[in-house]
Chain A
């Protein structure tokens, strides 16, 4: 037991003696949280739209007015021919083209149906989907208004029998930051923990001190635990900072139990640090450790459900996420912080991450050899 404390003390001495370390641990995650929470959003505003109004009627102007008033679209260009509009799309000046053909109003009045053309630059498919949704809702709104005003004034509107009211739970204003911040906190303490632990043992290999430790009667498990605890404490400090920023800067109130978050974070960090130390025992240089850590980090983060929903991934990819610790923590953070989930609700995740932790720490301990070859 005492040898564990001896190692913990030594690690902390080294961490705090390194002047670059403290800013790295506290400031970097803070800055990342403030920047990324504002940048990582699917909300799209002020989209440049090119309008080709060949009808020049009251109805077409009314439709254009709706787009203008929506805040989502910026009517940047007007013209009468598609060639000009195409050029603007090619140059990247405009994101979409709204084409109102000649006879738009006439068809609408006399035939009760008409045609519109919406061209969206869909290089970024997700963004194009969002633009499409915005545009459709504006057009539908316009439709209903026309219906009411001009056509079905006396008629009973058959189309509106089926009406689906909706409400958004847990994040009523669909605020993107509310959704992103808990997940981003996970990412920040993950990055620092993973890189620091992956570099740790291999650094002792590089400077040669590991040999001096290996000739002592220290127990392998004590060594691994002693290496893990300092980074675990640092991770929990980072979590605290992240939650405080979420509260004060983003006004996110934690609905669930705070001890539950810390409990899960502790098990999660043990898993993550075990993995980092496992990498550290397997490589010979800090450079190799960084490459390996990056490799897994990129996969873990992109497949964590942080930026894209796991449900949207193909089945094989969803299966992979079952081995992704970040995915569990992102899900749990969102559940507990935003929905107020209890320990009963997150039991499957807690079980999975506990098993992961056990496996990782055992592997790291087994892989750390005091005697080689």
Chain B
């Protein structure tokens, strides 16, 4: 793992309100270049809202943020050139084939024809999807779709890739393969920002932040977090953090 120490994402007092509801409540953190950063939290903790602000889909209510060296408020287009995103909802076109999807997204990122062709072949052979090449997306298994979606999100070789619960709904073997892809990307120098609610997956991350009710309650390496909360596993860390709010929300 190459940790250069240089920050590629810097967030300061970021807030997002929807009416009177505060989805993201004053969060601050940094992500280092080249690391796999786990963004954890229960459903509704504000992970997706935070990620959508960082990739420029939603405007923050207040705060400051730099992504890939660009200001989130004034240089959103520059940021878009340098990031990839894989949404929680599957976002390839079901009525296009594998190769057509790759060509479409590569084309929108402005890749030249010969480069795109090269990357598409590379990508297909890396995933071992030669036989699915001309298959419509709707006809291929979910695990393959997810792996393809990740690769398509990185077709333009972004500096950072944001993954929003990329492994929800896939079997453990595919999840394992998926994480191999993530490590692969990180080894090539891509920063990975991944949200998940599978606690075992958080062990694979370099650093982990845990969000509870819109706030970041903990941020450190998995080893340090377990030490800090005196826990055997990340699962335990998470439960210790999340439990008090569960009780308070019932009152």
Contact = CB atoms under 8 A, between A and B. Distances in A.
Interface of A: 2-3, 5-7, 9-10, 13-14, 17-18, 207-209, 211-218, 370-373
Interface stretch (B29-37, B74-82, B176-184, B224-232): B74-82
B57 A215 contact: yes
Contacts of A217: 77, 80-81, 109-110
Contacts of A9: 104, 107
Binding site of A, secondary structure by majority: helix, strand, loop or mixed? helix
A215 B93 contact: no
List the 9 closest A-B pairs by CB distance, nearest first: A6-B107, A208-B89, A212-B91, A217-B80, A215-B85, A217-B81, A10-B104, A216-B108, A209-B91
Interface in B9-27: 18
A10 B93 contact: yes
A10 B96 CA distance: 8
Contact of A14 (B18, B59, B77, B93): B93
B94 interface: yes
Nearest to A372: B58
A214 B59 CA distance: 13
Interface string B96-134: 100010011101111000000000000000000000000
Interface of B: 18, 55-59, 76-77, 80-81, 83-85, 87, 89-96, 100, 103-105, 107-110
A372 B76 CA distance: 13
Contacts of A5: 107
B107 A3 contact: yes
Nearest to B89: A208
A17 B81 contact: no
Given A208-B87, A371-B76, A373-B59, 7 more contacts: A10-B96, A10-B100, A14-B93, A17-B96, A211-B57, A212-B85, A370-B56
B93 A209 contact: yes
A3 B116 CA distance: 13
Contact of B55 (A13, A207, A213, A215): A215
A209 B91 CA distance: 5
